[in-house]
A and B are shown apart, each in its own frame.
Chain A
Amino acid sequence: MSGFQFEPAGFRSRVQGERGAAGISTRLLLLPLVAFCRLAAAEDINTLEQKALIDAVDRVAPSVVRIETIGGLERVDRVLFGAGPTTGLVVDSSGYIVSSAFNFVNKPASILVRLPDGTRKPAKLVARDHNCQFVLLKIEVDHPLPVPEAAPQSEMRIGQWCVAVGRTFEESRPNRTVGILSAVGRVWGKALQTDAPASPNNYGGPLVDIRGRVMGLLVPLSPQSAEEIAGFEWYDSGIGFAVPLEAIQKLLPKLRKGEDLYPGVAGVFMQSKNQYTGDTVIASCRPNSPAAKAQFKGGDRIIEIGGRKVTRSAEVKQEISRRYAGDKVHFVVLRGEKRIEADLELTSKLDAFQHGFLGILPLRNGNDAGITVRYVYPGSPVAEAKLEPGDLIVSAAGDAVVDPDELRSALSGLEPGMSLELEVRHKDQTRKVNLKMAELPNDLPPRTLPPARSKSEPGQGQKHKVGRIALTVPEFKNEAWAYVPERYDPAVPHGVVVWLHGAPDAAALLAQWKPLCDANDLVLVAPRPSLSNGWQADEANYIEKLVGQVKAAYTVDLTRVVVFGRDTGASLALVCAFRSRELIRAAAVIDAGSMLPPPEIDPGHRLAIYLGTAKSSMQAQLVKMTLARLKAAKVPVTEKDLGKDARDLSPQELDELVRWIDMLDRI
Chain B
Amino acid sequence: MIRFSRTTSAVLHGSAAFLVVAVLLSAYAASAADPSLARVIDQAQTKIVKIYGAGGFRGMEGYQSGFLISAEGHVLTALSYVLDTDRITVTLNDGRHYDAKLLGGDPRLEVAVLKIEAASLPHFDLAKAVPLTDGVRILALSNLFNVAMGDEPASVQSGTVSVLTRLEGRRGVFETPYHGPIYVLDVATNNPGASGGALLTLQGELAGMLGRELRNSLNNTWLSYAVPIDQLRQSVDEIEAGKFISLKELPPEKKPASPMEPGLLGISLVPDILERTPAYVDQVRPGTAAARAGIQPDDLILLVGNHLTQSCKALRKELEMIDRADAVKLTILRGQELVEVTVQAGPDDK
Confirm or deny: A295 has a beta carbon within 8 angstroms of a beta carbon on chain B: no
Residues of A27-72 whose CB lies within 8 A of B: 38-39, 42-43, 46, 49-50, 53-54, 57, 68-72
Confirm or deny: B135 has a beta carbon within 8 angstroms of a beta carbon on chain A: yes
Q: A73-B275, A110-B278 known; A84 and B34 CB under 8 Å?
A: no
Interface pair A70/B302, CB less than 8 Å apart: yes
Residues of B107-156 whose CB lies within 8 A of A: 134-137
Chain A hits for B291, CB < 8 A:
none
Which stretch of B97-105, B218-226, B282-290 is in the interface?
B218-226
Interface pair B186/A178, CB less than 8 Å apart: yes
Confirm or deny: B311 has a beta carbon within 8 angstroms of a beta carbon on chain A: yes
One digit per residue, 1 when the CB lies within 8 angstroms of any chain B CB and 0 when it does not, for chain A 192-206 equals: 000011011100000
Which of B216, B221, B222, B338 contacts A121 (CB under 8 A)?
B338
Which of A42, A69, A73, A173 contacts B34 (CB under 8 A)?
A42
Chain B hits for A42, CB < 8 A:
34-37
Residues of A111-130 whose CB lies within 8 A of B: 112, 120-122, 124
Chain B hits for A80, CB < 8 A:
220
Bound form: Cα–Cα A74–B157 in Å:
35
Confirm or deny: A582 has a beta carbon within 8 angstroms of a beta carbon on chain B: no
Q: A46-B137, A122-B336 known; A84 and B16 CB under 8 Å?
A: no
Confirm or deny: A227 has a beta carbon within 8 angstroms of a beta carbon on chain B: no
Chain A hits for B314, CB < 8 A:
83
Closest Cβ–Cβ distance, residue B295 to chain A (whole Å):
17
Closest Cβ–Cβ distance, residue B52 to chain A (whole Å):
27
Chain B hits for A73, CB < 8 A:
275-276
Residues of B61-79 whose CB lies within 8 A of A: none
Q: What is the predominant secondary structure among interface residues of chain B facing chain A? A: mixed
Closest Cβ–Cβ distance, residue B300 to chain A (whole Å):
6
Q: Most chain-B Cβ atoms within 10 A of its Cβ — which of A69, A71, A168?
A: A71
Bound form: Cα–Cα A51–B318 in Å:
40
Interface pair B186/A170, CB less than 8 Å apart: no
Q: A42-B36, A71-B311, A122-B338 known; A109 and B278 CB under 8 Å?
A: yes
Interface pair B338/A74, CB less than 8 Å apart: no
Confirm or deny: A365 has a beta carbon within 8 angstroms of a beta carbon on chain B: no
Which of B17, B20, B164, B276 contacts A83 (CB under 8 A)?
B276
Q: A71-B274, A112-B302 known; A46 and B202 CB under 8 Å?
A: yes
Which stretch of B2-10, B205-213, B341-349 is in the interface?
B2-10
Q: Which A residue's beta carbon lies closest to that of B334? A: A122
Bound form: Cα–Cα A140–B308 in Å:
21
Closest Cβ–Cβ distance, residue A37 to chain B (whole Å):
12
Confirm or deny: B162 has a beta carbon within 8 angstroms of a beta carbon on chain A: yes
Which of B137, B218, B300, B333 contacts A50 (CB under 8 A)?
B137
Bound form: Cα–Cα A201–B163 in Å:
11
Q: Most chain-B Cβ atoms within 10 A of its Cβ — which of A6, A8, A39, A174?
A: A6
Chain B hits for A481, CB < 8 A:
none
Q: A6-B20, A42-B36, A238-B9 known; A201 and B219 CB under 8 Å?
A: yes
Confirm or deny: B310 has a beta carbon within 8 angstroms of a beta carbon on chain A: yes
Residues of A72-112 whose CB lies within 8 A of B: 72-75, 78-86, 109-110, 112
Confirm or deny: A188 has a beta carbon within 8 angstroms of a beta carbon on chain B: no
Confirm or deny: A234 has a beta carbon within 8 angstroms of a beta carbon on chain B: yes
Closest Cβ–Cβ distance, residue A550 to chain B (whole Å):
21
Bound form: Cα–Cα A233–B173 in Å:
21
Bound form: Cα–Cα A479–B135 in Å:
50
Interface pair B276/A236, CB less than 8 Å apart: no
Bound form: Cα–Cα A177–B137 in Å:
10
Chain A hits for B157, CB < 8 A:
1
Chain A hits for B274, CB < 8 A:
71
Confirm or deny: B44 has a beta carbon within 8 angstroms of a beta carbon on chain A: no
Interface pair B217/A54, CB less than 8 Å apart: no
Interface pair B219/A68, CB less than 8 Å apart: no
Interface pair B163/A175, CB less than 8 Å apart: yes
Confirm or deny: A513 has a beta carbon within 8 angstroms of a beta carbon on chain B: no
Q: A82-B220, A236-B188 known; A176 and B162 CB under 8 Å?
A: yes
Bound form: Cα–Cα A43–B39 in Å:
12
Q: A70-B302, A169-B163 known; A200 and B9 CB under 8 Å?
A: no
Bound form: Cα–Cα A383–B262 in Å:
73
Q: How large is the interface on B (under 10, 10 to 19, 20 to 34, 35 or more residues)?
A: 35 or more
Interface pair A176/B338, CB less than 8 Å apart: no
Interface pair A7/B36, CB less than 8 Å apart: yes
Closest Cβ–Cβ distance, residue A587 to chain B (whole Å):
25
Interface pair A177/B186, CB less than 8 Å apart: yes
Q: Which B residue's beta carbon lies closest to that of A167? A: B163
Q: Most chain-A Cβ atoms within 10 A of its Cβ — which of B12, B19, B203, B216?
A: B216
Chain A hits for B17, CB < 8 A:
1
Confirm or deny: B159 has a beta carbon within 8 angstroms of a beta carbon on chain A: yes
Size of the chain A interface, CB-CB below 8 angstroms: 63
Interface pair A82/B219, CB less than 8 Å apart: yes
Q: A199-B221, A201-B221, A236-B222 known; A54 and B135 CB under 8 Å?
A: yes
Closest Cβ–Cβ distance, residue A466 to chain B (whole Å):
33
Confirm or deny: A225 has a beta carbon within 8 angstroms of a beta carbon on chain B: no
Which of A2, A84, A197 contacts B186 (CB under 8 A)?
A197
Confirm or deny: A235 has a beta carbon within 8 angstroms of a beta carbon on chain B: yes
Chain A hits for B12, CB < 8 A:
238
One digit per residue, 1 when the CB lies within 8 angstroms of any chain B CB and 0 when it does not, for chain A 1-38 equals: 11011111000000000000000000000000000001
Q: Which A residue's beta carbon lies closest to that of B280? A: A109
Bound form: Cα–Cα A49–B164 in Å:
20
Confirm or deny: B165 has a beta carbon within 8 angstroms of a beta carbon on chain A: yes
Interface pair A110/B333, CB less than 8 Å apart: yes
Chain B hits for A177, CB < 8 A:
160, 162, 186
Chain A hits for B330, CB < 8 A:
none
Interface pair B163/A173, CB less than 8 Å apart: yes
Interface pair A74/B276, CB less than 8 Å apart: yes
Interface pair A71/B310, CB less than 8 Å apart: yes
Confirm or deny: A237 has a beta carbon within 8 angstroms of a beta carbon on chain B: yes
Interface pair B220/A68, CB less than 8 Å apart: no
Bound form: Cα–Cα A84–B163 in Å:
16
Interface pair A54/B134, CB less than 8 Å apart: yes
Bound form: Cα–Cα A53–B184 in Å:
17
Which of A68, A71, A124, A175 contacts B277 (CB under 8 A)?
A71
Closest Cβ–Cβ distance, residue B37 to chain A (whole Å):
5
Chain A hits for B220, CB < 8 A:
79-82, 200
One digit per residue, 1 when the CB lies within 8 angstroms of any chain B CB and 0 when it does not, for chain A 162-174 equals: 0000001110011
Bound form: Cα–Cα A53–B186 in Å:
14
Interface pair B218/A83, CB less than 8 Å apart: yes
Interface pair A170/B160, CB less than 8 Å apart: no
Bound form: Cα–Cα A109–B134 in Å:
34
Chain B hits for A85, CB < 8 A:
218, 308
Interface pair B165/A71, CB less than 8 Å apart: no
One digit per residue, 1 when the CB lies within 8 angstroms of any chain A CB and 0 when it does not, for chain B 313-344 equals: 01000000000000000010100111000000
Interface pair A168/B219, CB less than 8 Å apart: yes
Confirm or deny: B292 has a beta carbon within 8 angstroms of a beta carbon on chain A: no
Interface pair B135/A50, CB less than 8 Å apart: yes
Bound form: Cα–Cα A234–B160 in Å:
20
Residues of B186-242 whose CB lies within 8 A of A: 186-188, 202-203, 216-222
Q: Can you list 27 A-B contacts with CB-CB less than 8 angstroms, sorted by A residue number? A: A6-B23, A42-B37, A50-B136, A69-B310, A70-B279, A70-B309, A70-B310, A71-B274, A71-B310, A72-B276, A72-B310, A73-B276, A83-B308, A84-B173, A84-B216, A84-B218, A86-B219, A110-B278, A169-B163, A170-B164, A174-B134, A176-B162, A200-B219, A233-B1, A233-B5, A234-B5, A236-B6
The 5 residue pairs across chains A and B that have the minimum distance between CB atoms: A84-B218, A177-B186, A71-B278, A175-B163, A200-B219
Binding site for B on A (CB under 8 A): 1-2, 4-8, 38-39, 42-43, 46, 49-50, 53-54, 57, 68-75, 78-86, 109-110, 112, 120-122, 124, 140, 168-170, 173-178, 196-197, 199-201, 233-238, 475
Other A-B pairs beyond A43-B202, A75-B275, 8, CB < 8 Å: A2-B16, A70-B300, A71-B276, A80-B220, A170-B164, A176-B162, A178-B137, A197-B188
